[in-house]
Amino acid sequence: MSVFNFFRRRSVEAPTAAHMTWTSKTIGRTLTRTGGFLRRQMWVVPILAILVLAVMGFGIRVAIEQTMKSELRSQLQTLLNIETEMLQSWMRVQTSNAETQANQQQVRELVYKLLAEQDTEVPGATAVDMSLHKQLRKELAPAMASHDYVGYIVFDTSRKVISSSQSELIGKQNLPSYEVFLDRALEGEATVSPPFPSVAISEDEFGRMRTGVPTMFVCAPVRDASFQVVAALGLRMTPEREFTRILQLGQIGESGETYAFDKSGVMLSNSRFDDNLILLGLIPDQEHSRSMLSLQIRDPQGNMTTGFHPKVRRSELPLTKMAAAAMSGVSGYDVDGYRDYRGVPVVGAWVWLPKLEMGLATEIDTAEAYRPLTILRWTFFSLFALLGVASLAIFIFSIMLLRMRREAQMAELDSKKLGQYTLERKLGSGGMGVVYKGFHAILRRPTAIKTLHLDKVNEGSIERFEREVQITCKLNHPNTVAIYDFGRTEEGLFFYAMEYLDGIDLQTLVDTYGPQSESRVIHILQQVCGSLYEAHSLGLVHRDIKPANIMLNRRGGEPDVVKVLDFGLVKALDEQKQAGMTGTNSLTGTPLYMSPESIETPDGVDARSDLYAVGAVGYFLLTGRPVFDARSIVELCQAHLTQPPIPPTERMGKPVSSELETALLACLEKSRARRPQTARDLALRLARSSSASLWSIDEADGWWSRHERGVEAAAAATTADPPRMANRTTSNFERTIVSNED
């Protein structure tokens, strides 16, 4: 039994009608009495308003806070993952460079000679021939210069330095600072060390010669002919050049930073607050003082930036919550807030990298992260204060509402005039242009007019704008939108005029009226194929075929006339310059309808890529669902690349003509060679379907007669709702003309 029928029957029963009448009268009397009481006791109004605002404020604050925490957690973790991957990728490059040098024949032979000299050296014998060191330095010089290495060092298996660009290290053995990475290299694994203070006198980033300069090494094993490790080659790097710069890229807002630290809690990269840390006394007050290797990540138990001073020495303070968790091997996040090494409340995410013997953290001050909540709180406090002065507050609030309403109404009035065109109303806007409905001053013909934003006018945008007009003007097929005019106003505003379509796009068609019949789907797709065949014949690929870019209209007395729009992303296959204007190798199109090759090799798409999208559109029209359902863009693209589509028969749970299903699935083949090779081939395959001739003019006329008001209402509702236009599909003609290239 239908639920609607149940309520319909109940509504005509006499006892129920009488009961509803009594209820409505009772509610009316209650509201009248309440209104009278409030008018007599005006002081109650501000109290009620304060209570309502308090409840609303608490609820809104909790909802916003939970949303902000979720988004902040996602941002922090995403940034940390990106920084971690960038750092690990950089380290893989460094280890690859070191292995390449360690495996060079000349380098290995020189190391063998150095080892041989060490083995034959006896008390009283001469020192190792310095020419070997010079030759080794000469062999390594090109790689060191090209990869910004500032020195080298070679150890034998007893951890003795047998050669180095710093001669004072030669002969030294078991250097403590080198053990971490040296042990792994001698075990056969190339590795990158965390930053550590240099043992020998080295030049720092400011040109000073001193010990304790922040140093990093990438170390790789040197093997003999039997592939046994006989030595280790280390290439010295300065952390400031790449290591610290990579971490400094990970910043959110004005107070965010990403930094590295070792297992003792010492910072391995420079803080972005070094100047402030000098004033706080956390690093020495010396010229060129830096936090790297000199600052411990400890909790001072209070905010030092507001004047707090710890009561104990820095070494006696506990590690920050983040550092303690990371060094215990627990990666995580905290969006509720904890104190950082300055004592400033922050939120952050962290990870410990055991293989690299270091941790990474990304943090941002809580005050900045939750600034909108503070603004919201003060907003409600201000409203409470205003409501304290009851009548005055209500009066001011009423005046503000009237003013805001008046401003909103005035904003809707747009009386601009473009050349000989008078604008009626704004249909939509994008990043580059705005679309209006208007008419020619003399011809009085309804026209859609697309303009170029004044603040976006430059040589590139003008050329792109003109190219869109020129490309569309080449197309004369009746199923392609027609361009009427192109011009520029005295104020420098570029525009072009095209035919105004008051039909419905395919996205809205399915959203409003559900999946379409086989015969109508074939009728629509055949017209799309006609438009695309002309474009493909001219060497043009649309690259953004989707339901929102295909309009269904009633034109010249003919129902179900298709118009293909938005050639703004079109690619001219025979013109390399024009192809580059949309960005060489750039991902262009709508992910739900993109072919595999447009994802993998965007610069290599051709006409068959459009046919993939046509198949996806036909699938959507027939089933009411896109080809692939996915939770993210990455997952969706992966489905286009690897996942076979579910046949419409299986998706719908009812039979579909084999000719139509075969044609759609052929379009959705991963390999272009297995798809229809031209739009005309696809149209002929569709025509062979048993359902092709079932959609007649009479049926189309009947559909438009039944749904004409619904189509107009959908168009009016979407046009009057700009946020919706900027969203999923930007309905109707307005939705499609405000193209993706904007």
- Burial class of residue 413 in the structure, from the number of CB atoms within 10 Å of its CB (0-12 exposed, 13-18 middle, 19+ buried): exposed
CA torsion angle 466 472 473 476 (round to 10): 180
Residue 675 CB neighbour total at 10 angstroms: 23
Residue 528 · residue 546 · CB < 8 Å:
no
Axis crossing angle, helix 14-40 with helix 3-12, rounded to the nearest 10 = 80
For residue 66, the one-letter residue type is Q
Residues 6+ apart with CB under 8 A from 142: none
- 212: tokens are 């304790």
Cα–Cα distance between 720 and 138 in angstroms, integer? 74
Estimate the crossing angle of helix 658-667 against helix 607-623, to 10 degrees: 130
Token digits of residue 469:
């007009």
Tokens of 120: 């034959």
Q: For residue 123, give the 3-state DSSP assignment.
A: coil
CB atoms within 10 A of CB 151: 22
Query: Residue 350: which H helix or E strand, with range?
Result: strand 345-353
Query: What Å distances lie between residue 677 and 386, 682, 688, CA to CA?
Result: 71, 8, 17
Q: How far apart are CA 627 and CA 536, in angstroms?
A: 24
Tokens of 90: 């950089």
φ, ψ at 725 (rounded to 5°)? -65, -35
d(CA 150, CA 166): 10
Exactly one of 262, 299, 365, 544 is catalytic; which is it?
A: 544
Bridge partners, residue 152, by sequence: 235
Separation of alpha carbons 374 and 381, rounded Å: 11
> Strand order of the sheet with strand 494-499?
417-418, 421-429, 433-440, 446-452, 494-499, 483-488
Beta bridge partners of 436: 426, 449
Q: Which two tokens stand for residue 443?
A: 């011809």
38: Cβ–Cβ under 8 A, 6 or more apart, which residues?
44, 45
Helix (H, G, I), strand (E, B) or coil at 689: coil
**What backbone phi and psi angles, to 5 degrees, belong to 197?**
-70, 135
Phi-psi group of 380: left, alpha or beta (phi > 0 → left; psi -120 to 50 → alpha; rest → beta): alpha
Q: Distance (Å, rounded) from C-alpha 553 to C-alpha 632?
A: 33
Q: How far apart are CA 438 and CA 134, in angstroms?
A: 80
Reply yes or no on whether 204 is catalytic. no
- Give dist(CA 735, CA 727) in Å, integer: 9
Segments in 576-647 forming alpha helices (H): 576-580, 596-600, 607-623, 633-642
* Residue 722 CB partners (closer than 8 Å, separation 6+): 428, 429
Q: Which residue has the tokens 């703004």?
A: 568
Longest dimension (CA), the chain: 124
List alpha helices for 648-696, DSSP H. 648-652, 658-667, 679-687
Question: Mind telling me the catalytic residues?
Answer: 544
